[in-house]
Amino acid sequence: MNNFESTYALLVRSEEKNRTRLETLVYAILILSAVVSIWQFAHQSVAFPIDKVANTPVYALAAQGS
């Protein structure tokens, strides 16, 4: 008679259901926060310096240079 059980079999048999639910919730929150961060970054407006020059009248640029 062989009483040997693998370490994996012992871990699976002793798995806690509440801990599994908590881990799932934590992973879901982490993934959701990453998605929200990426979404916020993608919708953030960026002001390039060339936009300021492109929208400035030519006579104002000439006055700044002198």
pLDDT digits (tens, 9 = 90+) for 5-62: 788 887 777 777 777 888 999 999 999 999 999 999 998 887 767 656 666 666 655 6
| Token pair of 44 as six digits | 């953030």
Across the chain, mean pLDDT equals 78
The rounded distance, in Å, linking the Cα atoms of 66 and 60 is 10
DSSP state of 47: -
Q: For residue 1, what pLDDT is reported?
A: 47
The rounded distance, in Å, linking the Cα atoms of 32 and 59 is 50
The rounded distance, in Å, linking the Cα atoms of 2 and 26 is 39
Give me the percent of the chain exceeding a pLDDT of 90.
27
Q: For residue 54, what pLDDT is reported?
A: 63
C-beta separation of 5 from 12 below 8 A: no
The domain ranges of the chain are: 7-65
